[in-house]
Structure 1
Amino acid sequence: MKQFDESLNWFKGNMHTHTTLSDGVHTPDEVIEIYRAKGYDFLALTDHRRLSMPETVRGMLMTGGVEFDYMLDNECIHIVGVGLRSAPELDPPMIGQSAQQAIDAINAHGGFAILAHPSWSMNTLAVTLPLSGLGAMEIFNSTSDAPWNPARGDASQFVDLTYTRGKYTPLVASDDSHSYTGEHTRSFTWVNAKELTLDSILDAMRAGRMFASQGPRFTQIEYADGVLRVDCEPVERAIVYSNLPWAAHRVFTGGLTHFEYTPARGERYLRVRLDDADGNMAWSQPVVIG
């Protein structure tokens, strides 16, 4: 099975962004121009508890969005919603509500719910595994990384712990831009869709036709006849992750554009990370094999 439809188009977007409407330093118009100038195709303004609506601005699709946040005893949960066509009844979200209610409301209003920065939030599986209806989770969040925060931007371990327990939530990468001092336009998601419309982008995301990136690009991922085959633009290294703590021959190096991996006995899922020469990464969706 192939992850991508080669007859469709690729669109680049960021689904977690803040403006002066909450705790960002730039106005919505300024933020839109920052991302438009960097070649983004779509963008979600996801201010805290402040919904933005879908529209097209200067040729860039604005998917609409909002971020809800909930404090627990030893962790917090942030839920980003994109693609909403009306406001969820979650005002104020900090009082008498829950992350699950936010997810349910986002989905009920036609949106796509994302678990934001789980490593930064100190999320535990006891809290997150019971959540239902998530469309994706952030495997990388730029603002959660150093120097803006104590280097908890990469949620790879959280992802593998989640997948090892059989919950294969798709992955995105986002900036979560606030200060616009280098965290912006760093991490993004490529979506394999028919056209640049809200419906087409959401349909592709729900189908898992997307990958998270900071630069490297997958061109195709296929699992057939017991072999994982990966095509990509040239990278320095590729790593295959799974539920097993150890398995041989899962690291590939040296100007890669294609590699193949035969799963070891006991591997139930595979996911791939690409690394380029500058240290930028890309992350695939999981391939469930058993």
Structure 2
Amino acid sequence: MKKTTFLENGQFYKGNIHCHTTCSDGKLSPDAIVKAYQDKGYDFLAITDHNVFSHYTCYNTDRFVMIQGVEGNLRAPADNHREYHFIVLPGPDGHWEAAEGEKFAHGERLEIPMLSDKASVQAYIDDLYRRGYMVMINHPFWSRIEYDEILGLNNLFAVEIFNYCSQILENMGESNVCYDALLRNGMKLWCTAVDDNHNDFPLDSAKCDSFGGFVQVKAEELSERAICNALASGSFYASMGPEIHDFYIEDGRFYFKCSPVQKIYANGDVRQIHCAVAEDAEHPLTEISGELRGNEKYLRIECYDFEGRKAWTNPIWLI
């Protein structure tokens, strides 16, 4: 039987689901941000200002879609170094329509509860979930949150494995170790790459925090409902640049195809399963396949292009 996270039908759409504007601590207006991402060829964007919910349907066209959302957080005591931040997006069909709590309105400011213990974090997530939203935990490395401070939290759908702003400005944007620790301990979460752009520097600056982390979502159509359904089901991959064309497991073997890259690593909950490395740029890699050991709980793949940019699949769960 073939196993994959990608929908059988549909196409890939490029988007950023973590973005800030002058409505919170970003330096560019919503108009300017939307135009910048449209000019870069993005298909969708979620403006997720800090604790200010947005629903910018005015920017929707037949070729570009806005996803409503917000970045919410808990307020930590002065002596607590942790930062629990969450991206909040509309949940998939069924969950969205059956929600018990009220939906947020455009421009509505979220309450910021006090962080006291893990139960307070769970209560915050649960409130959002009851309203019909799906919740992602942001930049664990930057937030100085250890994996066991996430382990056991319910009603999360994803973790940021790469946050471009945190990486380019502070070298704290990659959370592979935390993510794998969560997977190995049984949390079935997807992984995303995002910009988290605040645009303190011009768009043409080497320190610009836009356009460096994104998701490619395979959806049935370019609409908010289709994008959110695909995100919830894991029909996407995270990237800094490389393109992933396919990833599946069938009859005890895995198969992976991508744009030309230098390195491909297939890993799961056990140590290294398979790797491939191109000797030079004249002979890049575009695929890898191999036998499974048979005792893996999950398998996921990372690939690196010749500029060091990475792409990450979501895990395929085998148990």
Question: Would you call these one fold, judging by a TM-score over 0.5?
Answer: yes
Is the Cα–Cα contact under 8 Å of residues 9 and 195 in structure 1 kept in the other structure? Answer: yes
Is the Cα–Cα contact under 8 Å of residues 115 and 121 in structure 2 kept in the other structure? Answer: no
2:89 corresponds in structure 1 to 82
1:21 corresponds in structure 2 to 23
CA deviation vs aligned residue, 1:42-90 (integer Å, no higher than 9, x gap): 1111111100015151522111111112226342210110237931898
With 231-240 and 184-193 compared, the bigger mean Cα shift is at: 231-240
**Alignment partner of 1:232: what SS?**
strand
AA aligned to 1:87 is F
Q: Which of 47, 64, 67 is equivalent to 2:68?
A: 64
CA deviation vs aligned residue, 1:218-240 (integer Å, no higher than 9, x gap): 11111111111111122111111
Q: Which of 3, 8, 11 is equivalent to 1:9?
A: 11
Q: How does 1:1-290 map to 2 (within 5 A)?
A: 1-57=3-59, 59=61, 60-70=64-74, 71=76, 73-83=80-90, 86-87=103-104, 91-95=110-114, 98-146=120-168, 148-149=169-170, 151-179=171-199, 181=201, 182-244=208-270, 246-247=271-272, 249-253=274-278, 254-264=283-293, 266-290=295-319
**Alignment partner of 1:92: what SS?**
coil
Cα distance in 2 for residues equivalent to 1:144 and 1:96:
22
TM-score (normalised: structure 1): 0.91
Q: How many residues were matched structurally? A: 287
**Alignment partner of 1:10: what SS?**
strand
Is the Cα–Cα contact under 8 Å of residues 46 and 65 in structure 1 kept in the other structure? Answer: yes
- Bigger proportion of residues as strand: 1
CA 1:247–1:142: 2 relative to 1, 3 Å = closer
Q: Which protein shows a greater Rg?
A: 2
Is the Cα–Cα contact under 8 Å of residues 216 and 236 in structure 2 kept in the other structure? Answer: yes
Is the Cα–Cα contact under 8 Å of residues 190 and 315 in structure 2 kept in the other structure? Answer: yes
AA aligned to 1:173 is A
Cα distance in 2 for residues equivalent to 1:191 and 1:180:
28
Q: Unaligned 5+ residue runs, structure 2?
A: 92-101, 202-207
CA deviation vs aligned residue, 1:237-290 (integer Å, no higher than 9, x gap): 11112222x335434435112211223364322111111111111100011224
Is the Cα–Cα contact under 8 Å of residues 247 and 264 in structure 1 kept in the other structure? Answer: no
Is the Cα–Cα contact under 8 Å of residues 266 and 272 in structure 2 kept in the other structure? Answer: no
Cα distance in 2 for residues equivalent to 1:248 and 1:32:
41
AA aligned to 1:133 is N
Percent identity (aligned)? 30
With 136-145 and 85-94 compared, the bigger mean Cα shift is at: 85-94
Cα distance in 2 for residues equivalent to 1:2 and 1:141:
25
Q: Unaligned 5+ residue runs, structure 1?
A: none
TM-score (normalised: structure 2): 0.83
Cα distance in 2 for residues equivalent to 1:91 and 1:228:
44
Cα distance in 2 for residues equivalent to 1:266 and 1:90:
47
Is the Cα–Cα contact under 8 Å of residues 215 and 237 in structure 2 kept in the other structure? Answer: yes
Cα distance in 2 for residues equivalent to 1:43 and 1:35:
8
**Alignment partner of 1:220: what SS?**
strand
Cα distance in 2 for residues equivalent to 1:205 and 1:248:
27
AA aligned to 1:75 is R
With 14-23 and 101-110 compared, the bigger mean Cα shift is at: 101-110
Is the Cα–Cα contact under 8 Å of residues 266 and 273 in structure 2 kept in the other structure? Answer: no
Is the Cα–Cα contact under 8 Å of residues 53 and 86 in structure 1 kept in the other structure? Answer: no
CA 1:26–1:54: 2 relative to 1, 3 Å = closer
AA aligned to 1:240 is A
CA 1:275–1:86: 2 relative to 1, 3 Å = same
With 280-289 and 180-189 compared, the bigger mean Cα shift is at: 180-189
**Alignment partner of 1:68: what SS?**
strand
**Alignment partner of 1:82: what SS?**
strand
